[in-house]
Amino acid sequence: MLQLEDLELRQGGFALRANLAVPAGTRTAIIGPSGAGKSTLLSAVAGFHDPDRGRVLWQGQDLTPLPPGQRPLSILFQDNNLFPHLTVAQNVGLGLRPDLRLSRQQRADVEAALDRVGLAGLGPRRPAALSGGQQSRVALARVLLRKRPLLLLDEPFAALGPALKAEMLGLVGSIANGSGLTVLMVTHDPADARRLCDLALLVEGGQAHPPQPTEALFADPPEALRRYLGT
Amino acid sequence: MAGRAEPLGPAVWAGTAVAAVLLALTLGSLGAVAWNAGATAGLGAADWAAIRFTVVQALVSALLSVMLALPVARALARRRFPGRGLLITLLGAPFLLPTLVAVLGLVAVFGRNGVVNGWLAAAGLHPVQIYGPQGVILAHVFFNMPLATRLILQGWLAIPAERFRLAASLGFGPRDLFRQIELPMLREVVPGAFLVILLICLTSFAVALTLGGGPRATTVELAIYQAFRFDFDLGRAARLALVQFVLCAVAAAVTLQVPVPGAFGGGLDRAVRRWDARRLGLLDAGVLALATAFLLVPLLMVVLAGLPRVWALPAPVWQAAWHSVQVALGSAVLTLGFALALGLAVLRMRGPLAQGLETTGMLSLAASPLVIGTGLFLIVYPVMDPARAALPVTALVNAAMALPFALRAILPALRQVDRDYGRLASSLGMAGWTRLRLVILPRLRRPLGFSGGLAAALSMGDLGVIVLFAETGNQTLPMQLQRLMGAYRMGEAMGAAVLLLGLSLLAFWAFDRWGRRAAA
Amino acid sequence: MRCPMLVAGLMLTGAPALAQAPALTVYTYDSFVSEWGPGPQVKTAFEEICDCTLNLVGAGDGAALLARVQLEGARSQADVVLGLDTNLTAAAAETGLFAPHGVSAEFDLPVEWDDPLFVPFDWGYFAFVHDRDLAEVPGSFEDLIASDLQIVIQDPRSSTPGLGLLMWVKAAYGDRAAEIWQGLAPRILTVTPGWSEAYGLFLNGEADMVLSYTTSPAYHTIAEDDDSKTAAIFAEGHYLQVEVAGKLAAAPQPELADQFLEFMTTDAFQSILPETNWMYPAVMPANGIDPRFDDLPRPETALLLPAEEAAELRAAALAEWLGALSR
C-alpha cells in the first residue's frame, strides 16, 4: 500500500495537500485540471520534490529520506526518458546496473526484455533511429528489468497518436499484470483513465482526494470534476 | 531537487580543491611577490600614465571589436553559403594565435613596408601608421573581433526560428525585425561580449610592446615587467599587479550585473532561415569579404614567408615543438578537469558559495601572468630546481589562463544536461562516477572539445611563465622562435612561426572535431 | 630475464654516481645558450679540460639575468653569471652576491680594464645598422635628427642595447641629452622590448636603421654571404658594450668557477665568439679571427662611462628619455 500521510507540498505560492492511500497492485489515474499539481504529486512520490510536511510510505516503509534512485519505483517522464547518446540496449541495461557493467546473463536479460516489448534485434541502435512508439517501448523494457513494485507515469505517451497511445497503455497493462505492479498515472484524458485504471484520484483546489473506482467516479462526477470534464 | 537526500560528494570537494589551486596561483603568487619585496617607493607619474593608457586602450579596443563584429555576426547569421562553417572556424583563428606570430603578420600587412601602404603609395595616398597607440588597438581588434563575432553570432542563432517565421507572417521589414527581435537580443549579448574583451585587453602585454611606438603606450602589465627587469622592484611590481587586479575586479563586478553570453562552444553551423534579407545580400557579402581580408591576410603573409622554411628547420626546433605539444595537451587536460570539477561543484552548491566558486574560475582573467610566474618561482625555488618543474608549471598556468573561457562554454551545457537528464539519471540511481561517465561526459563532448582545443592552442603559443623556468633542454616552440630571432635567423624564425601557427590551429581543430563528432 | 633487470637497476642507481663528476652552473642570457649561439661549442671545449659537467642555464636577456640572480639570492645554485654588461655591473656589484675573480689577461679592449669583480669576454660598438644603398647616411646624431629617416630602438627598461643607447647619448652630449632625445623622437618609428623584435622589423624593411652593433653586418656577410648591410659611423664616437662574467660569492664550485673565468680568456673560448655572438673577442686569439671582421666600419672614438657613473646617471637619463618620448 502506498500512503501519502499528511503530505503538504509547496511550490511558489501554491500548496497541495494529500492524505490518502493507494492499495498495492492497483492502477490509479491521477486526474484534474492543468496546474492543479498532478505532476508535483508524482514528483513527491518519486523523490524529486521534498515535502514540506508529512511522509510518503510504501508497505509501511518511509520513503521520504531516500534518494530517487533508491525508491522502490520506476518513473516515465513526459520526455527525455532515454539518453540519446547511449544505444537502445544500454538504455535498457541501465535498469539492471546504473554503471552498465553487465554480465553475460544480464545482457541476455536485456535482449529478452527488448523481445518482450517487440523490439528484438534493435539493441545496437540509437534512440534517434527509432519512432516515438518504439522509444516508449524501450523505456518500458527498462521498467520490466528494474523490477520495482511501483510504476509512475507522468503522461509519457501524450505525444503519441490515439492508436499508438492505446497500444502503449495496453502494453503497460500487460507488463503491470505480469509483474504485479502498482501503477500511478497522470493523465488529462478520461478515456486513458478508463482504459488502464481501476481507480482514479482527483487533484483540484489544492487537495488530492482519495482514489475511487474509475467507473463510479466518472458515472457520478463531483462538481469539480464535472467542471473539468465540461459535462 | 532532492538536495538533502544526496551527500555532497566528491564533485564539491574536487571543485573546492580546484578553487584553492586557482586562488594560490593568482592571489598566492601575488602574495609571494609582495612578501619578498623590500622597501619600495609608491606609484610614480609614469605608473599612473600606464594605468590611464591601459584603461583607455582597453575601452577603445573592446568597443571597436564589438562594433565591427556586429555586422559580421549578422551577415553570418542570415546567410547560407557553401564553406560557411569553414569560414566561421577560420575567422576564429586570430584569437588562437601566438601574439608573436600575429604581430609579424600585422606588420607585413599594415607596416610601413606592408601591403596596405604599398597600395596607398601606388594610389598616391598618405600612408597609414601602425606604430603607436593605434597599433595596440589595431592588434587588439585583430585578436578579439573573432571572439566578439562568435559571442554575438551565438546570440543571433539562439533566437528561435519560430520568431522569424512569425515576423515574416506579420510582414516585418528589416527595420521592424531589428527593433522587435534583434535589438532585445543584442541588449542582452553585447554588454557581456564587451566586458570579456575589456578584461582581456586590460591585461595585454606582448602586443603593446612592439607596436606601441614608445613609452606613451605602456600598459600596466608592461610596467610590471619593467619593474621586475629594470629596477628589480618586487614591491612596485606587486603594487601594480594589485592595481591591475582592482581594475579587472571593477570590470568583473559590472560583468556580474549583466548577463554574459553562455556556451560559445555551441552549435554555430546552423543558419537561421530569414525572409527579410534578400535585398541585403551584397552588403553582407561585402562585410564578410572585408572581415575575412582583415583577419586572414596577416595570417597568409606569415604563411607565405615561412612555409618554404618549415621543412628545413633544424632538429632543436622540432624538439621544442614536441615539448610545446606536450605542454599544450597537458594544459588542455588540466583545463577540462578544472572546468568540470568547478562546474559540477557550482551545480551542486547554491547561493553565494556557488557564485564564489564561479568567480574564482574567472579570476585568472584579472591576473598578471608575469606575477604568477615570478610568484611561483619564489614558491618553487626553495623546494626544487625550477627547471625540472618548467613544463608542468607552464601547463598549469596556461590551464588557469584558459579556464575562464572553458568555464563559460561548459557551465551552461552542464546546467542543460542537468535540466534535461538529471531526473532520469537520478531515478535510475546513476550517481558519482557512473553519472559522470555515462551521462555528463557524453552530453558535454561539444563544449569539452571546444574548450580543450582553445586551451591547447592558447598554451601552444604562450611565452609567459616558461621563460623564468626553462633552461637548455626543455624549451618550447615560442622560446625557440625567440632564440632564432635573437641569433639573426629571421628566415628560420618565420619557418618556426608557421610551424607554431600550424600546430596551434591543428590542436584546436583536432579537439573541436572530436567534440563535434559526438553522435546525437 | 632476471639478470638484465638487475643490470638495468644497477645502471639506474649508478647513473647519479656517474653524474657526480662536479658540475659547474653558469647563468647566461638566452641567445648565448641557444643552438645558434656560443653555448654548445663552449660546453664542449670547457668539458674537455675541466673533467666536469658544464651546465649553461639561459635566463632571458641580459637585464633578466641580473633579476634572476637577485630572485634567487644567496641560495642560488649558480657558480658564474655570464653576460652582464658595463651598464649593469655597478648594480650587480651592489647586490654583494659577486666575488673577486683574480684573472689577469692582455685584454684587447678599446679601454683599460681593472674591474676586480667582472671579467670581460667580448665587446662591440653600438651603432645604427642600415642597408648599404641608403641614400643619405647620417654621420652623427644631429645628422640623424635633421634627416627624415625612421629608426627602431629598444626600450632601455627591458634591453641592454636600449640602455646602451641611453648611455651613448648621455656620454656624447651630457646635459644636452634631453634636447637630443626630443630631436630624435620624430625619427623613432617604434620602441621594442628587445633586440630581436627591433632587428626583425628592420630586416622586414619597416625601418631605415636599427640600433644594433657595428659587428652585426658581419653576420650577413659571413653567414649569409650578403654584403648589403653596414653600420653608420657617428662623429660623436660610439658607446661600447663590454660583456662580462663574474663569480658568485656563494658558488658551490668556486674552483671550477675560477677555472672557467680563466678559460674564458683563452683562445679555445675566444675564437668561438666572433661567429656565434657576432662581437669582437676580448682577447684576440693567436690565429686571429675571420678577416671579414676587418672590413667592418670602425669608429674613431670609443665612449664608455665608468660603471659607477653609469649607474648614477641611469635614473636621470631614463627620465629624460621618458619625458622626450612621451610627448
The pLDDT score that the predictor gives to residue C245 is: 95
**Preferred mutation among B427, B438, B443 to probe A, highest tally of A CBs within 10 A:** B427
Kindly list the residues from chain A whose CB atom is less than 8 angstroms away from the CB atom of residue B423.
46, 48, 68, 77
A→B interface, C-beta within 8 Å: 46-48, 50, 65-70, 73-75, 77, 80-81, 83-86, 94-95, 98-100, 126-128, 142, 146
Report the alpha-carbon distance of residue C23 to residue C43 in Å, rounded: 12
Mind giving me the DSSP string for B272-325? PP-SS-GGGHHHHHHHHHHHHHHHHHHHHHHHHHHHHHHTT--HHHHHHHHHHH
C-beta neighbour count of B173 within 10 angstroms:
9
CA distance C78 to chain B (A): 12
Report the alpha-carbon distance of residue C300 to residue C125 in Å, rounded: 11
Residue C13 pLDDT grade (very low, low, confident, very high; cuts 50, 70, 90): very low
**Over 50: is that where the pLDDT of B2 sits?**
no
Question: What pairs with residue A28 in β-bridges?
Answer: A184, A199
How, if at all, do strands C118-131 and C229-232 pair? Answer: antiparallel
B397, B330 Cβ separation under 8 angstroms:
no
**Over 90: is that where the pLDDT of C280 sits?**
yes
C290, C222 Cβ separation under 8 angstroms:
yes
Report the alpha-carbon distance of residue C25 to residue A218 in Å, rounded: 95
What separation in angstroms does the CA of B39 have from each of B231, B235, B335, C236, C297?
13, 7, 38, 40, 47
- Mean pLDDT is highest, among A44-48, B18-22, B255-259, for A44-48
A19, A77 Cβ separation under 8 angstroms:
no
Chains that touch C (3 or more CB pairs under 8 A): B
**Preferred mutation among A11, A48, A147 to probe B, highest tally of B CBs within 10 A:** A48
Is A83 close to B442, i.e. CB distance below 8 A? yes
The pLDDT score that the predictor gives to residue C267 is: 93
**Over 60: is that where the pLDDT of C12 sits?**
no
* Per-residue model confidence as pLDDT tens digits over B143-157: 889 888 988 887 887
Is C196 close to B112, i.e. CB distance below 8 A? no
List, in sequence order, every beta strand (DSSP E) within chain C: 23-28, 53-58, 80-85, 98-99, 118-131, 151-154, 188-192, 209-213, 229-232, 238-248, 280-281, 302-303
User: Which range among A28-32, A225-229, B97-101, B161-165 shows the weakest confidence by mean pLDDT?
Assistant: B97-101
Secondary structure in 3-state letters for B236-257? HHHHHHHHHHHHHHHHHHHHHH
Phi-psi region at C306: left, alpha or beta (left = phi > 0; alpha = psi -120 to 50): beta
The pLDDT score that the predictor gives to residue B461 is: 79
The pLDDT score that the predictor gives to residue B480 is: 86
* Per-residue model confidence as pLDDT tens digits over C118-162: 999 999 999 999 999 998 899 999 999 999 999 999 988 878 899
C-beta neighbour count of B309 within 10 angstroms:
19
Residues 6+ apart with CB under 8 A from A97: A106
CA distance B417 to chain A (A): 10
* Per-residue model confidence as pLDDT tens digits over B298-324: 989 888 988 988 888 888 899 889 989
**Over 60: is that where the pLDDT of B261 sits?**
no
Cross-chain CB nearest to A85 (options B3, B431, B519):
B519
- Mean pLDDT is highest, among A53-62, B41-50, B383-392, B498-507, for A53-62
Residues 6+ apart with CB under 8 A from C123: C109, C110, C240, C241, C242, C243, C279, C280, C282
In B, minimum Cα distance to C220 occurs at B488
The pLDDT score that the predictor gives to residue B473 is: 60
Burial class (CB in 10 A: 0-12, 13-18, 19+), A219: exposed
Cross-chain CB nearest to B228 (options C67, C190, C278):
C67
The pLDDT score that the predictor gives to residue B266 is: 41
pTM for this prediction: 0.82
**Over 60: is that where the pLDDT of B423 sits?**
yes
Kindly list the residues from chain A whose CB atom is less than 8 angstroms away from the CB atom of residue B416.
none
Kindly list the residues from chain B whose CB atom is less than 8 angstroms away from the CB atom of residue A150.
none
The pLDDT score that the predictor gives to residue A140 is: 94
In the structure grid, which three cell numbers stand for residue B512, read together? Answer: 573541436
**Strand, coil or helix: B461:** coil
Kindly list the residues from chain B whose CB atom is less than 8 angstroms away from the CB atom of residue C149.
none
The pLDDT score that the predictor gives to residue B274 is: 61
What separation in angstroms does the CA of B69 have from each of B106, B158, B182, B512, C322?
19, 17, 15, 22, 36
Is B429 close to A69, i.e. CB distance below 8 A? yes
**Over 60: is that where the pLDDT of C2 sits?**
no
- Domains, chain B, ordered by start: 14-37+48-516 (1.10.3720.10)
* Per-residue model confidence as pLDDT tens digits over C41-80: 999 999 999 889 999 988 777 777 888 888 888 788 899 9
Kindly list the residues from chain C whose CB atom is less than 8 angstroms away from the CB atom of residue B121.
none
* Per-residue model confidence as pLDDT tens digits over C14-31: 334 444 688 999 999 888
Whole-number percent of chain B with pLDDT over 90:
11
Report the alpha-carbon distance of residue C127 to residue C143 in Å, rounded: 14
In A, minimum Cα distance to B430 occurs at A98
Kindly list the residues from chain C whose CB atom is less than 8 angstroms away from the CB atom of residue B132.
190
* Per-residue model confidence as pLDDT tens digits over B194-235: 888 888 888 776 666 678 878 888 888 888 887 777 777 778
pLDDT mean over C315-319: 90
Is B427 close to A68, i.e. CB distance below 8 A? yes
**Over 70: is that where the pLDDT of B256 sits?**
no
Scanning C247-286 for CB atoms below 8 A from B yields: 278
Cross-chain CB nearest to B426 (options A67, A74, A86):
A67
Chains A and C share 3 or more Cβ pairs within 8 Å: no
Kindly list the residues from chain B whose CB atom is less than 8 angstroms away from the CB atom of residue C223.
488
Q: What one-letter code names the amino acid at A68?
A: P
- Number of DSSP helices (H) and strands (E) in chain C, helices first: 14, 12
Name the phi and psi angles at C29, rounded to 5.
-80, 165
- Domains, chain C, ordered by start: 20-123+242-295 (3.40.190.10), 124-240+300-325 (3.40.190.10)
Whole-number percent of chain C with pLDDT over 70:
94
The pLDDT score that the predictor gives to residue C9 is: 36
**Over 70: is that where the pLDDT of B273 sits?**
no
The mean pLDDT value of chain B amounts to: 81
Scanning C152-211 for CB atoms below 8 A from B yields: 155-158, 185, 188-197, 199-201, 203-207
The pLDDT score that the predictor gives to residue B257 is: 66
The pLDDT score that the predictor gives to residue B3 is: 40
pLDDT mean over B251-261: 64
Is C204 close to B108, i.e. CB distance below 8 A? yes
Cross-chain CB nearest to B5 (options A67, A80, A94):
A67
Supply angle C-alpha B115, B120, B123, rounded to 5. 130
Report the alpha-carbon distance of residue A61 to residue B277 in Å, rounded: 64
The pLDDT score that the predictor gives to residue B36 is: 75
pLDDT mean over A141-166: 91
The residue that leads in pLDDT, B2 or C297, is C297
C-beta neighbour count of B48 within 10 angstroms:
11
Is C191 close to B374, i.e. CB distance below 8 A? no
B148, B260 Cβ separation under 8 angstroms:
no
What separation in angstroms does the CA of C285 have from each of B403, C42, C277?
55, 15, 15
